[in-house]
Amino acid sequence: MGQLRQFIEHFKGNVLFSVETEGRRETLLDLLSALKLKPKQIQSLEQAKNEKFSLLVSSLEQGFIIEQSFPVAIIGEANLLGERVQQRSRDKRKTINPDTLVRNLAELKIGQPVVHLDHGVGRYGGLVTLDTGGIKAEYLLLNYANESKLYVPVTSLHLISRYVGGSDESAPLHKLGNEAWAKSRQKAAEKIRDVAAELLDVYAQREAKKGFAFKYDREEFQQFAATFPFEETYDQEMAINAVISDMCQPKAMDRLVCGDVGFGKTEVAMRAAFLAVMNHKQVAVLVPTTLLAQQHYENFKDRFANLPVNVEVLSRFKTAKEQKQILENLAEGKVDILIGTHKLIQSDVKFSDLGLLIIDEEHRFGVGQKEKIKQLRANIDILTLTATPIPRTLNMAMNGIRDLSIISTPPARRLSIKTFVRQNDDLVVREAILREILRGGQVYYLHNDVASIENTAEKLTALVPEARVIVGHGQMRERELERVMSDFYHQRYNVLVCSTIIETGIDVPTANTIIIERADHFGLAQLHQLRGRVRAFTSSGLCLFAYATAKNDDKRC
């Protein structure tokens, strides 16, 4: 801003400031007010000739000077924000409707399990036409156990729904006229009533209690945002704005941010944490694994390095003495952001003034841990981040009980991940590993059996002698696992033979290939999460799902 002041003092012509969006216009006006400048807002370049200082919303990014009888200097966003990466022009598209994404269901297929409200789970047999009493009508044919058939008139389709209790192969097949279905419905109804009563109680408390309304300092917040080394995507910016808006309200926030792995959910959390800390509130970041806690700790530490913010991590990587000291500092208000696993919600953890709880991948926590999280919901702002939301959480968001933001746009520099399903073959594995290490990248080789993981590493070393292979899994000692991950991160090794411990939180920029042994033994949500470990920023990523023996295509992965 000092250079801008000097330029304005020495430039003899008119000055036009250009910004890309209405939101940036308000930000710039705040910045210019510090120089006691109040530019007139204009609609075209022509009008700049008549105003000493003017402001125009346009796509101009870089500034230049128009040499005329009376010169005009145009100053773009890039000139003002310096290292701040410019927001490129985005597609003018409508806001994503979560209902459209969630309810895009395919049509029923013959043999697919369906549920009849009164008779239970059967198999869809197609549409048939029957003549009853001289009147022809269409019916849905449902097949049940013991070759029983049920014909449902199309006028009663409201009684039929898709089976969503698991895979089609594992769906039960009920008997017509049997009491098993009625008992199952009754048991489910009782559980639903218990859960509903508990949820209603929690959210009634939230509505009744007045939350903390965070104060938003635009200039401070924009300075922090400017240190983000990437450009925000459209969805990411919308999520950030929604979170900040929620936090500034007197009602406690409970927002779910749903986005694919690597789509920028962590930056949304960091912006929220910044706002909380600037309001002298403490922040807790709850994560499911120790490695993810360490990853978040390093990222938060780097992001807040130039601010008077104390970031700590509570995990099994810390000694008992270190943990005790952190807890003492936390109770005294000397820790601003505390990151950790379920240890954060244990009874001996006392916050001085907790204002924001960030939960990463809620579905990975156990029942007991979720119970403790529920007790916190009535009092503080909650921000939940996930790539694969649990059905109940998503349903609550869809029905308005919890607020929802979806980040569906990948970062601009992220390349595609090519995914292949292959029968396990040494030649294919060798080719995939060599391809990656020859271009300077790294490989995850997932073998989810600790008992034989060392043998697998030895076989890979013999198969690809060019590779530097290391082993990492959750049963290692804390310090040893930390050393392994550090060595892999710093590229001392280029192949990591590992268990599913890498599922959340391992962020290695040069790891562009993942090979998953016996992929058919994993669930889709887990495969999706594992596939997301591939970064694919510097070069296109490769994901290989390998299975042991040839199987029916419908059963693979």
pLDDT at 106: 42
Kindly state whether residue 350 falls inside one of the protein's structural domains.
yes
pLDDT, tens digit, 9 for 90 and up, residues 481-524 = 878 988 898 899 999 999 988 876 567 888 999 999 999 888 88
Sign of the dihedral through C-alpha 311, 316, 321, 324: positive
Assess whether 222 and 331 both reside in one domain: yes
Distance CA 256, CA 274 (A): 18
pLDDT, tens digit, 9 for 90 and up, residues 41-65 = 887 767 777 888 888 877 666 666 6
pLDDT at 348: 84
Kindly state whether residue 185 falls inside one of the protein's structural domains.
no
Amino acid at residue number 419:
T
DSSP state letters, 217-273: -HHHHHHHHTT-SSPPPHHHHHHHHHHHHHHTSSSPPEEEEEE-TTSSHHHHHHHHH
Strands laid side by side in the 14-19 sheet = 40-41, 53-57, 14-19, 72-75, 64-66
pLDDT at 319: 84
pLDDT, tens digit, 9 for 90 and up, residues 374-407 = 666 567 899 999 876 665 566 655 555 578 899 9
Amino acid at residue number 248:
C
Between residues 99 and 246, the one the model is more confident about: 246
Assess whether 536 and 494 both reside in one domain: yes
Assess whether 399 and 433 both reside in one domain: no
Assess whether 388 and 431 both reside in one domain: no
Assess whether 451 and 402 both reside in one domain: no
| Residue 472 · residue 291 · CB < 8 Å | no
Angle between helices 367-377 and 180-208 (to 10 degrees): 30
CATH code of the domain covering residue 35: 3.40.50.11140
Assess whether 264 and 340 both reside in one domain: yes
pLDDT at 313: 95
Assess whether 335 and 446 both reside in one domain: no
Residues ≥6 apart with Cβ < 8 Å to 460: 429, 433, 445, 467, 469, 495, 497
Kindly state whether residue 188 falls inside one of the protein's structural domains.
no
CATH code of the domain covering residue 540: 3.40.50.300
pLDDT at 534: 82
- Please say if the pLDDT value at position 255 is more than 60: yes
Distance CA 551, CA 546 (A): 12
Strand-pairing partners, residue 308, are none
Element of type H or E holding 496: strand 495-498
pLDDT at 555: 39
Which range of residues forms the domain containing residue 169? 113-178
Kindly state whether residue 200 falls inside one of the protein's structural domains.
no
Please state the rounded mean pLDDT for residues 56-75: 70
Kindly state whether residue 204 falls inside one of the protein's structural domains.
no
Please state the rounded mean pLDDT for residues 198-218: 75
Kindly state whether residue 483 falls inside one of the protein's structural domains.
yes
pLDDT, tens digit, 9 for 90 and up, residues 306-339 = 999 999 999 877 888 999 999 999 999 999 999 9
pLDDT at 369: 67
Assess whether 551 and 486 both reside in one domain: yes
Where does a domain end: 377, 407, 437? 407
Q: Checking phi first, is residue 237 left (phi over 0); if not, alpha (psi -120 to 50) or beta?
A: alpha
pLDDT band at 201 (very low <50, low <70, confident <90, very high): low
CB atoms within 10 A of CB 245: 13
pLDDT at 205: 65
Assess whether 464 and 498 both reside in one domain: yes
CATH code of the domain covering residue 150: 2.40.10.170
pLDDT band at 87 (very low <50, low <70, confident <90, very high): very low
Assess whether 222 and 353 both reside in one domain: yes
pLDDT at 308: 94
pLDDT, tens digit, 9 for 90 and up, residues 464-490 = 999 999 999 888 887 788 789 888 988
Please state the rounded mean pLDDT for residues 210-230: 91
pLDDT band at 7 (very low <50, low <70, confident <90, very high): confident
Query: Structurally, how many domains does the chain consist of?
Result: 4
Assess whether 347 and 459 both reside in one domain: no
The model's pTM: 0.58
pLDDT band at 101 (very low <50, low <70, confident <90, very high): very low
What mean pLDDT, rounded, does the chain reach? 81
Kindly state whether residue 399 falls inside one of the protein's structural domains.
yes
pLDDT at 434: 94
Between residues 242 and 168, the one the model is more confident about: 242
- Please say if the pLDDT value at position 456 is more than 70: yes
Between residues 368 and 74, the one the model is more confident about: 74
Where does a domain end: 407, 429, 456? 407
pLDDT at 274: 97
Kindly state whether residue 92 falls inside one of the protein's structural domains.
no
Element of type H or E holding 199: helix 180-208
Assess whether 403 and 428 both reside in one domain: no
Dihedral of the alpha carbons of 420, 426, 427, 430, in degrees to the nearest 10: 80
Distance CA 215, CA 554 (A): 53
Helix, strand, coil shares of the chain as percentages rounded to 5?
40, 20, 40
CB atoms within 10 A of CB 556: 14
Residues ≥6 apart with Cβ < 8 Å to 109: 124
- Please say if the pLDDT value at position 526 is more than 70: yes
pLDDT above 70: percentage of residues in the chain: 78
